[in-house]
A and B are shown apart, each in its own frame.
Chain A
């Protein structure tokens, strides 16, 4: 069925570099997207979100880009730090399902090399 997926299972970057994590989605009815960070043994932590009427949203050191034409979502982390090492998930909310749960991708592991 329709689902959220990720291009790269593991991304390794040097400390101080910028990181880009990508996500493809296939559900054209999705109207809201979220990026989560999950550290080992913990629950996912909200990073940033974006609604479908936007193309870009910035937070502290993070930027989310949404390309609805190709159904692509990306998370950019500036000046990556060792504390950014974790698994990152994108999630989508289908606009036609009310409060039903988000659909999650399988995750990308970000490894920051010192």
Chain B
């Protein structure tokens, strides 16, 4: 079945540590997205990529970094510069502007 796979499901970060969240899709979609969701709130855009080797900052990019070396993969690194990283992180992809985004099942990041 085609879909988006995020791993790990749960992740813990120590102070001063960088952690990387994985996102893989086999939908052959060009565009991929990372969102952050805080309790009781909507989704906020961190980064997005419309094509391999290209990505743009979203609304809350500070403290995060991404790469897009392969069409299928869009990993997100939460750096030590992100002072409040505890949240639910969602990865999505889509094929065209007037098509829905498809989401993975998220990674929950917490601070140790």
Report A's interface with B, CB cutoff 8 A. 31-32, 34, 36, 41-46, 49, 51, 89, 91, 93, 95, 98-102, 104-107
Contacts and interface: CB of A to CB of B under 8 A. Distances in A.
Contacts of A45: 103
B41 A46 contact: no
A20 B103 CA distance: 24
Contacts of B40: 106-107
B interface residue count range (under 10 / 10 to 19 / 20 to 34 / 35 or more): 20 to 34
B106 A42 contact: yes
Contacts of B100: 34, 46, 49
Given A41-B106, A42-B105, A44-B103, A99 B42 contact: no
A36 B42 CA distance: 11
Closest 6 CB pairs of A and B: A43-B103, A104-B42, A106-B42, A32-B98, A104-B43, A101-B45
A46 B102 contact: yes
B30 interface: yes
B90 interface: yes
Contact of A43 (B56, B96, B105): B105
A105 B40 CA distance: 11
Q: Give the residue among A34, A45, A46, A102 with the most B Cβ atoms within 10 A.
A: A102
